[in-house]
Amino acid sequence: MLRKILIDTLFLLPLMVAQAGAGSMPRLEKATFAGGCFWCMTPPFEKLDGVKEVISGYTGGHTVNPTYEDVTSETTGHRESVEIAYDPSKITYEKLLDVFWKQINPTDAGGQFVDRGPSYTSAIFYHSEEQKRLADESKKKLAESGRFDKPIVTEILPAGPFYRAEEYHQDYWKKNPIRYKFYRYNSGRDQYLAKVWGKDEAMNTKHTAMAEEAYVKPSRDELKKRLTPMQFKVTQQEGTEPAFDNEYWDNHRTGIYVDIVSGEPLFSSLDKYESGTGWPSFTKPLEPGNIVTKEDRSWFSVRTEVRSKHADSHLGHVFDDGPKPTGLRYCMNSAALRFIPREDLVKDGYGKYAKLFEK
């Protein structure tokens, strides 16, 4: 009998410990918000004490397991959203609502900032009647504050199935800080929030990026990891890639070319032409302010070197044998550039240039 009691005790002990541990775990609740691009909605909540996890995903639609392409096609009814797991003993739902309102334009029924379409419209998805009550109260209070001169159109809806977005979307602001900062600044979100709430309030989560900060040059060690040997040789060691054996010399797609290091916009396909040299050639820069020229006396001649302003990347050279109207040939190395096709301009944070290619 004693042996049986000991065996039963040893068998049950792990379960008892696990149950005791589970009982001491904080009880987490969920909050779900849609505020346009979920890249931008993640950082403000992740930095709050009491928030355990913020997941980017899709909700409010009528299909199962939608992909990013499905949602942005505007055929599934889903919105880009964030699902927040929080400890109500450390942070209240009211506080989460307050943070939510200060991340969006609640008067925009057509999307959020540069992102347009139903999938980018704002909404609060409640998980309980108490959340609904608090959301209704906060919306009414905001409408009566006089802060906005247009109606508050953010919807308050019951929470439904939430589908986690692709992994590359999760914590995008941490994984791709340069591209995230560039996208965020050019989306117009921070400028709007600063205008409505004041600079200090809009920046209280410390994620606002100014234009100059968006174009960051990583450390040399980081560049060695990130760039291919040819990209590193060209941009950091003033190298030259082989003619007719590079990525963009015969690229005829519509879009823009940015610095492979910093992402700063440099050239447009509208100004690209067939120079016959075997390197991508342009008649003028897309953003002259991002271009720096220097005298180059290497190779026993005097040439004009072209570098990017913010990353100081070697790009190529400019010559005066180009076609009209400029008469210039910006002869660039493909290895110094990254091409953003027209259809990806908004997604990659270059939406302001999409209008260049409108017919």
Q: What is the pLDDT of residues 286-308, one digit of tens each?
A: 999 899 998 888 767 788 999 99
Question: What is the pLDDT at residue 214?
Answer: 60
What is the structure's pLDDT at 215? 73
CATH number of the domain at 29-176, please? 3.30.1060.10
Least trusted range by pLDDT, from 118-122, 210-214, 234-238: 210-214
- The label of the residue with tokens 């009647």 reads 129
The pTM of this model reads 0.58
Model confidence at 123: pLDDT above 60: yes
Mean pLDDT for the stretch of residues 209-215: 49
Task: Say which residue, 213 or 133, is predicted with more confidence.
Answer: 133
How far is residue 69's CA from residue 92's CA, in Å, rounded to a whole number? 34
Residue 5 pLDDT class (50, 70, 90 cuts): very low
Closest CA to 135 of 122, 149, 150: 122
Least confident of 20-34, 131-145, 252-266: 20-34
By percentage, how much of the chain surpasses pLDDT 90? 71
- pLDDT for the residue numbered 302: 85
Instruction: Report, as an integer, the average pLDDT of 327-349.
Output: 93
Whether pLDDT at 222 is above 60: yes
* 13 has pLDDT over 90: no
Buried b (16+ CB within 10 A) or exposed e, 318-353: bbeebeeeeebbbbbbbbbbbbbebeebbebbbbeb
The β-bridge relationship of strands 329-332 and 255-259 is: unpaired
CATH number of 220-357: 2.170.150.20
Question: Is the model's pLDDT at 4 over the cut of 50?
Answer: no
Tokens for 86, please give them.
Answer: 């929080």
Catalytic residue of the set 40, 328, 331, 336: 331
pLDDT value, residue 355: 87
Domain spans, the chain: 29-176, 220-357
Mean pLDDT estimate for the chain: 88
Question: pLDDT tens across 66-105, in order?
Answer: 999 999 999 999 999 999 999 999 999 999 999 999 999 9
Which of 73-87, 94-108, 133-147, 169-183 is least confident?
Answer: 169-183
37 is catalytic: yes
State residue 185's pLDDT score.
Answer: 79
Listed in sequence order, the residues at least 6 apart from 130 whose beta carbon sits closer than 8 Å to its beta carbon are 93
**DSSP character at residue 271:** G
331 as an active site residue: the answer is: yes
Place of tokens 């919105």: 79
Catalytic residue among 31, 34, 37, 99: 37
